Chains A and B, each alone.
Chain A
Amino acid sequence: MTNPEDLKYSKDHEWVRVEDGVATVGITDYAQDALGDIVFVELPEVGAATTTGETLSEVESTKSVSDIFAPLSGTITEVNTGLDDDPTVVNSDPYGAGWMFKVELSDPAELDGLMSAEAYGAFTAE
């Protein structure tokens, strides 16, 4: 498994890509592999306020349901509605088409609390 160098990672196995103060969020390759076949993603509401660490949505695999936590505080600006029709892209393309939602950051300093690709790689190897 390779984790893209340009992303930040949370201990809850989410990745974050920040562009112009907006973070795109998904789950990592490690997470999708652990979950198995993804059958449904319960997406958050556009416009919802997020606080780091709160439960934002859920991802359902054949095996289990897992909470998606807000990795950063802010406001949801967009959700990946394409997952309604084909949630399996979370398995096949977790860092691309499998993205889940975008957050307009209220406190960009929170990014410092996330891990680099290298640190996340070490975290998942534990």
Chain B
Amino acid sequence: MSSLKRTALYDWHVDHGGRMVDFAGWELPVFYESGAIEEHHATRNSVGLFDIDHMGQLDVVGSDAVDFVDSLVTSDMSTLDIGSAKYGLLCHDDGTVIDDVIVYRLAEEHMMVVVNAANRDVDRTWIEDHTTGNDVTVTDRSNVLEMIAVQGPNAVALVDAVTRVNVASIERFSSASIELFGTRALVGRTGYTGEDGVELYIDGGVVDVWTGLLAKAEELDIAATAIGLGARDSLRFEPGYPLYGHELSRDINPFEARLSWAVNLVDADGRDKDFVGADALRTIKAEGIARRLETLTMIDKGVPREGSIVIGADGNELGPVVSGMFAPTVDAFACNAFLPIGYGEVGTTLAVDIRGRQKAAVITKRPLYRR
């Protein structure tokens, strides 16, 4: 365990009953005393606080910053306003996915790429390896910037109450620089739970912000709960957000993962957008995909965990489950799997082989949950 990295909030998690587990090399709480299901509901009903400091931030600065990031990311960065953020994918030449990222344009010549913990080093190397000929400097700020998420229907009101900036006026996928609890932070109206809320990028002082938000919530009589990785997963699963290593990987292309909305093969001016993987993705789009991400809900009870196999009516194996769990808000056992095109009609009954037991499941309309 000693080689695992710890966030600044490690002691707080342990002091508050956090069950610490290894997640992408980081020692983080999977849940606290009250358990993952209560934490899930707490976020849907009021406010959840998430320590997501394991995520990485790569600064790209220089006169070519916008064009350079645009040349690596599937979504169109050329039209990104200063202060705005956009979701996109880093792809290989063959169109498979290296990572999914959120890109902020912080200034005219300053982009910040927010990456997954497991892919930090891969992403940084990938980006640095493509800088030749571009006027950009890439700086990994992951070890400097601290990151937490505040999510839920009361999240914006809570953050609004601790800073002078009108947080409620920040639009979705926009950001502002704020001061809270004596420290500066970038607040983005983004998240990974299907709820309204913000993500905070803090220049040191995350423990003061975290404890300050909890104290303010108590003062305002807003229920605010620390959330572990277990509920983070079920909160992202229900609204259909992908998790790298599950719905996205080096073996999956964005169309299979239903992320064509994040792939701009044509830019705002109607020209072909050129980025790494674009040619492969054009070919894949033209030829069509052979399988696609589907969500199944269990008819027979059981947890269709990752690695379970979806079985067709004729007994053939259709594909492996990539995420599966009990989904608390929809009160169902459910899973995601990549199924051959033609098997994906909503309402179709299939089976999931869960450790040798075949259990009935039905293909269900995505997403399972929308606020």
Contact = CB atoms under 8 A, between A and B. Distances in A.
Interface of A: 36-37, 39-40, 42, 58, 60, 62-63, 65, 84, 91
Contacts, number: 43
B371 interface: no
A91 B36 CA distance: 13
Contacts of B305: 65
Interface of B: 19, 30-31, 35-38, 230, 234, 301-303, 305, 325-326, 333, 355, 357
B302 A37 contact: no
B4 to A, nearest CB: 17
B28 to A, nearest CB: 13
A37 B37 contact: yes
Contacts of A63: 30-31, 36, 230
Contacts of B301: 40, 84
Nearest to B231: A62
Contacts of B326: 39-40, 60, 62
Q: Which of A39, A58, A62, A84 has the most CB of B within 10 A?
A: A62
Contacts of B19: 36
A56 to B, nearest CB: 14
A97 to B, nearest CB: 18
A36 B34 CA distance: 9
A65 B303 contact: yes
A60 B303 contact: yes
18 contacts: A36-B36, A36-B230, A37-B36, A37-B37, A39-B37, A39-B303, A39-B326, A39-B333, A40-B303, A40-B333, A58-B355, A60-B302, A62-B35, A62-B37, A62-B230, A63-B36, A63-B230, A91-B35
B224 to A, nearest CB: 20
Contacts of B38: 37
Contacts of B325: 62
Nearest to A41: B301
Contacts of B234: 62
Given A36-B19, A62-B234, 9 more contacts: A36-B31, A39-B333, A40-B303, A60-B302, A60-B303, A60-B326, A62-B36, A62-B230, A84-B301
B308 to A, nearest CB: 11
Contacts of B303: 39-40, 60, 65
